[in-house]
Amino acid sequence: MKGIAAGKPGEVLVFDFPSPEPGAGDLIVKPLACGICSTDVKMASRGSGGKIEYALGHELAAEIVTVSEGEKRWEVGQKIVAAPYLPCGACYYCQHGQPTLCKNLFSVFLSPGGLAELVKIPRDLAARGTFLIPDAMPVDIAALAEPFGCVIKGVEDVGLKTGDSVLIIGDGPMGVIAAAVSRYHGASLVMVAGMTPHRLAVVEKHYADVVINVGQSDLRSEVDKHTHGRGADIVMSAVSSAEALSNAIDCVRPGGWVNAFAGVPDGTTISLDLKKLHYQQYFMTGSFGVGPNHLVKALNMFASGRVNVAPVISAHFPFAQAIKAVAYARDRAGLKAMVTFQ
């Protein structure tokens, strides 16, 4: 069966994977929609290291085509979303409510990946990380449960409270989603800083109170204008760069929170003004990944109808053009690229 995989560094290709064989408790699903993530772009640029084992894609909505004998929870024909990986629930970190620090996080995963004709959901993931899509929900929206879940975790990690002001640095898909999620979580002011006019236009129309084009205006003075000169209560850095995080620290109010939300390459460092840290007592953390409960929260958010989620997807590609979808994400042509299967 066909899947879309990273080949040589920078290459994305169609690869013939063995059809997945279900073991006891496993599900076999047929993808319906799968979003393209910056992680896929990263994996494609790194390449597969000579041996192709996995397909790209982990933002998956799918239909169950095979259940094992005696399966009670799932039925053929049900539409589901599945987490890409699964915290074990038993290690030190899981027991401290920090699921994405789980030491066994990647021991269970979608196989070979979401961009394939068939996908195996291993037993534990089927039991604890797979969720029914509500009947009325379009499958491309449901496939956004993973990226929205990551952002929901991200705002939880910085304790976003009703009435907070939030600055998001970055107008890529995750920055735009962060604006939508912040508003849904009760932020009174959502500011998004970016450099891409067509993306900022979408954010301004649907998700943010203020957009700041950092190519045209000074970020900190714009933030000051809207926060009585204090800085934002919460700043999310959703750009993969040291400069973005330094700017985030520059824009947080004393006692506020900074989230290093975007992943960065190995060895990325910033210099830290320790005097500012000491006297301004701001907090800083990062956020990585998603736990199963965040997918549930995302689905509930979509089902609430309080957020217009659809504009996050700026292009749909049929599975036959999935390679183009990865290129679209790599080239930052729009926002989220969504692959759909018939």
For Zn ion, the binding residues (CB under 5 A) are 37, 87-88, 91, 94, 102, 147
Closest to Zn ion by CB, 29 vs 56, is 56
Closest to Zn ion by CB, 91 vs 242, is 91
Closest to Zn ion by CB, 22 vs 154, is 154
CA torsion through residues 62, 63, 64, 66, sign: negative
Closest to Zn ion by CB, 142 vs 249, is 142
Rounded to a whole number of angstroms, the minimum distance from the CB of residue 277 to Zn ion is 31
Rounded to a whole number of angstroms, the minimum distance from the CB of residue 228 to Zn ion is 36
Closest to Zn ion by CB, 124 vs 250, is 124
Task: Decide: 171 and 206 in contact? Cβ < 8 Å.
Answer: no
Rounded to a whole number of angstroms, the minimum distance from the CB of residue 326 to Zn ion is 13
Rounded to a whole number of angstroms, the minimum distance from the CB of residue 66 to Zn ion is 25
d(CA 106, CA 47): 19
Closest to Zn ion by CB, 67 vs 295, is 295
Rounded to a whole number of angstroms, the minimum distance from the CB of residue 5 to Zn ion is 17
d(CA 289, CA 168): 18
Tell me which residue has tokens 């995989």.
5
Rounded to a whole number of angstroms, the minimum distance from the CB of residue 262 to Zn ion is 12
